[in-house]
Copies of this chain bind each other. A is one copy, B any other.
């Protein structure tokens, strides 16, 4: 297995994270970099989804990945081995989320020249990451079928801040009491503008739709929309 760079993220000293996040967003837009903040519970399939999506897109656009975790470097190594794209591990030192300054520390560890898309895989947690703007161009979350369709009722903030909700592990839906229609209804209740795409990262189903969403949003940012 390849070795990956590990960056120990320091706790941020900025008091006004929202202002800092806006500044980072503007900087990235100027550089032509689209930053996707990907969030979910532990074990919802973030890394597998990323691998499939990156392999579908990497011949068209240049991608880099930042894997945030409290500990371990398993995800960054997995991404590098399976896709070959630039991948670094961010250690949060026990912190349960990333804010804009922490995200900036991670970005400083990447070569951004000629990079169209940076994906930040945030810490697996439906609570705290929703409270801190990372400076991302768009927020995306994965909800997996085994977690249940009631999660938008229980984690309202997370669903309200996400532009895109991927519903993963659709292949195992027959074995769980998961009601996709109800889930979509609850998501719309929290965020009427959220786009919802059911996928199965394992089989690749729906990954093309996620890839198209990404390409369209990257183009729109480049065109200043």
Contact = CB atoms under 8 A, between A and B. Distances in A.
B126 A127 contact: no
Given A72-B154, A94-B131, A127-B123, A43 B175 contact: no
Contact of A42 (B71, B147, B171): B147
Contact of A41 (B42, B131, B172): B42
A123 B147 CA distance: 14
Interface in A30-64: 41-44
Contact of A147 (B43, B71, B72, B153): B43
A163 B146 CA distance: 25
Contacts of A125: 96, 125-128
Given A146-B146, A172-B172, A127 B41 contact: no
A84 interface: no
Q: Is the interface of A mostly helix, strand, loop or mixed?
A: loop
A96 B128 contact: yes
Contacts of A123: 127
A70 interface: yes
B72 A153 contact: yes
Nearest to A177: B202
Interface in A89-117: 94, 96
B146 A169 contact: yes
With a 10 A CB-CB cut-off, give which of A42, A175, A176 has the most chain B CB atoms. A42
Contacts of A157: 70, 94
17 contacts: A41-B41, A41-B42, A41-B124, A41-B147, A42-B151, A42-B155, A43-B148, A43-B151, A70-B154, A70-B155, A74-B153, A96-B125, A96-B127, A124-B127, A146-B172, A172-B175, A172-B176
Given A41-B124, A69-B154, A70-B155, 4 more contacts: A41-B41, A41-B42, A42-B154, A96-B96
